[in-house]
Structure 1
Amino acid sequence: MGASVNRKNWDRIVTLEILRGLRHLGGQASKSDLLTYFRTQSAPITDEMLDTTLTSKKSGKPYKPFDFTFNYNLKYLELADYITRPRRAYFQLTTIGENCELSENLSQDVLTKANQTLDKQKKEDVVSHEELPEDEPAVDWSEELLDYLKAFSPSKFEQFCRQLVHQMGVSLDETVGIQISNDGGLDGFGYITSQDDFRTNRVAIQAKRWQGTIQSPEIDKFRGAMDKFNAEYGIFITTSTFTRGAIKASRQGSRVITLIDGAKIAELVAKYQLHVKPVTTYLIGDFYKRKGQ
């Protein structure tokens, strides 16, 4: 999309919708859960906001301005003590976040409190929101992971997806759904046993290494492929995102399709440590920062 994106009110909208989303989701949620809430429940956050893509003037790579706004507001809500981060990419409301009034001026209040926290901590190396380059959103490991996945060959990406669903508890069939890049069929097929070990269900897998968003016709096509193999469940994995229509289509009928987008892929890769290693670091305590003998 073009560079004429009006981002003037995004901070105000996203601040409110993050808190509203966390309340709706029971007070705690992952980034992926919040993004799904934005897609399916949030009227102020539109598909255009979520899907607008620009090109970085510095690196020449495409990026989504909303991702930058989302990450920035999560950071400042945490600094202002409206949310906490129990673990990576997972957020929980504090007492302040649970009880604050979701008013139009909340975003400015959050910004003021966050900057006060930064000043108190003497974080001189942290720049203000206005000083951050407009076309250079912060890059974390999950965005780097998606860059690698998007560069995979179709066969390698489908291999990755089968490894991922295997870690999720699916026993893969070695004969069904292994034809490379057969978009008219399946990219994987397997079986999952219920928790009581009494019933085994058939699971169909679809993998799409796409740049654009996945829309409802792709979900309908996948459901048709599921019919051929009498699959009770479906798992649709993409490096991209799903439109509101696609999410709605996945939930219709008697066989709900699990949707795994780029953000959810990163969560699952971290959860199962699939070809990644966690890194431990340390925060320097105030003892080292205080002056004096």
Structure 2
Amino acid sequence: MSYKRWNVEKAIVLALRELGGTASRKIIRQTIATNEYANLKYEDVYDTKVSARTGRAYNPFLYDFNFGLKNLLTVGYISSMEWGKEISLTSTGRTAELSNYPTSEQTQLVTNYWNQKTRERVHRKLTAMQESDDKLADRDEDLVVIDDPESRQDADESQWKSDLIECLKKFNSGKFENFSRALISKMGVTIDKNRGVVRSADHGIDGFGYFKSDEFRTSRVAIQCKRYTQDQVSEPEIDKFKGVMDSFNAEYGIFVTTSHFTNRAKAKAMQGNNTVTLIDGQELADLVEKYELQITPIKTYTLNAYYYEQD
């Protein structure tokens, strides 16, 4: 199925307003996916395609997201897109009536900006062709790269995280449960050696352990893992897990999936005394990065926009 192009400027502004006017690119995307701004759903933001040339998964939404940010910068709704810094709304971006966006004047500003960028890009490609044909970017992967370093970093991060999620989806149940327990252990939960390794067919629980929050309090934690390729985790699955938590006298639960959760599942997770922490595929990838679980960090450099500017 071909990817549907999205105009995401309104979604970005709504997310930033929700977040107080300033946030990182990653948090903006998470907020758009969670709140379904501008009719964008979780899968629209995070689903991947496979490159025809490399055979690797990548996130095409970054194409729309980065272009949307550039458009908002062009019309004065965000203040900058500086390397390593958060995105901030201007006073115009905070107060503008979005039902009027884009006006004819804003449309012309954006058109002029991209026409100029197209001319610059064509010039760089022609130069690259003269030097070496193999420097031309893959047609699919060009979608997620725009001419600022932060956008390229977004694309690089999305690439390896997409690969990670695809690999996790191919794990068998036992390996995915072992992976989840290893990750949760790194998060500070001590797995019970006697009760903490319970296979999925036994009582519907995949792990059990203890979390020490301070010198005086230790909580019982139940773990559930669902390795889904497409399906969302629904409310009945959370409800069932909560029942199992009761049988283990668990105060807290952690539900891990390679997919994501329905809104009703999210609401159910927060009800009652035994709340459930939900970890979807994207959060799973972020946690693997944070705790460096079976990954190897590689240090590299990207050129700032300065090197590509025309004198």
- The answer for the alignment partner of 1:210 in structure 2 is 228
Aligned residue pairs: how many? 272
Report the residue type matching 2:6 in the other structure. Answer: D
**Shift in alpha-carbon separation, 1:264–1:291, aligned structure 2, 3 A:** closer
Alignment match of 2:281 (pick from 242, 253, 262) = 262
Alignment match of 1:68 (pick from 35, 60, 79) = 60
Identify the structure with the greater helix proportion: 2
Equivalent position SS for 2:174: helix
User: Which range is displaced more, 234-243 or 25-34?
Assistant: 25-34
* Counterpart-to-counterpart distance in 2, 1:250 and 1:290: 50
- Indicate conservation of the 8 Å contact 1:213/1:243, yes or no: yes
Deviation at 1:30, TM superposition (A): 6.4
Report the residue type matching 1:105 in the other structure. Answer: P
Equivalent position SS for 2:6: helix
Gaps of at least 5 residues in structure 2 are 126-137, 145-154
* Counterpart-to-counterpart distance in 2, 1:62 and 1:216: 33
* Counterpart-to-counterpart distance in 1, 2:24 and 2:306: 34
Report the residue type matching 1:74 in the other structure. Answer: F
- The answer for the alignment partner of 2:291 in structure 1 is 272
- The answer for the alignment partner of 1:115 in structure 2 is 114
Alignment match of 1:31 (pick from 23, 26, 49) = 26
Q: How does 1:90-101 map to 2 (within 5 A)?
A: 92-93=87-88, 95=90, 99=94, 101=96
Gaps of at least 5 residues in structure 1 are 126-130
* Counterpart-to-counterpart distance in 1, 2:108 and 2:252: 45
Deviation at 1:182, TM superposition (A): 2.2
Alignment match of 1:22 (pick from 16, 26, 29) = 16
Deviation at 1:222, TM superposition (A): 0.8
**Shift in alpha-carbon separation, 1:33–1:164, aligned structure 2, 3 A:** farther
**Shift in alpha-carbon separation, 1:164–1:121, aligned structure 2, 3 A:** farther
- Indicate conservation of the 8 Å contact 2:48/2:162, yes or no: no
User: Which range is displaced more, 175-184 or 201-210?
Assistant: 175-184
* Counterpart-to-counterpart distance in 1, 2:171 and 2:186: 20
Greater Rg over alpha carbons, structure? 2
* Counterpart-to-counterpart distance in 2, 1:270 and 1:109: 41
* Counterpart-to-counterpart distance in 2, 1:183 and 1:108: 59
Report the residue type matching 2:114 in the other structure. Answer: N
Q: TM-score, normalised by structure 1?
A: 0.74
Instruction: Give the alignment's Cα RMSD to 1 decimal.
Output: 4.1
Deviation at 1:278, TM superposition (A): 2.0
Q: How does 1:130-149 map to 2 (within 5 A)?
A: 140-149=159-168
- The answer for the alignment partner of 2:185 in structure 1 is 166
Deviation at 1:24, TM superposition (A): 1.0
Equivalent position SS for 1:254: coil
Q: TM-score, normalised by structure 2?
A: 0.70
**Shift in alpha-carbon separation, 1:113–1:218, aligned structure 2, 3 A:** farther
**Shift in alpha-carbon separation, 1:4–1:147, aligned structure 2, 3 A:** closer
**Shift in alpha-carbon separation, 1:230–1:110, aligned structure 2, 3 A:** farther
- The answer for the alignment partner of 1:105 in structure 2 is 102
**Shift in alpha-carbon separation, 1:269–1:175, aligned structure 2, 3 A:** same
- The answer for the alignment partner of 1:281 in structure 2 is 300
User: Which range is displaced more, 184-193 or 223-232?
Assistant: 184-193
- Indicate conservation of the 8 Å contact 2:190/2:210, yes or no: yes
Deviation at 1:31, TM superposition (A): 3.5
Deviation at 1:104, TM superposition (A): 2.9
* Counterpart-to-counterpart distance in 2, 1:110 and 1:248: 42
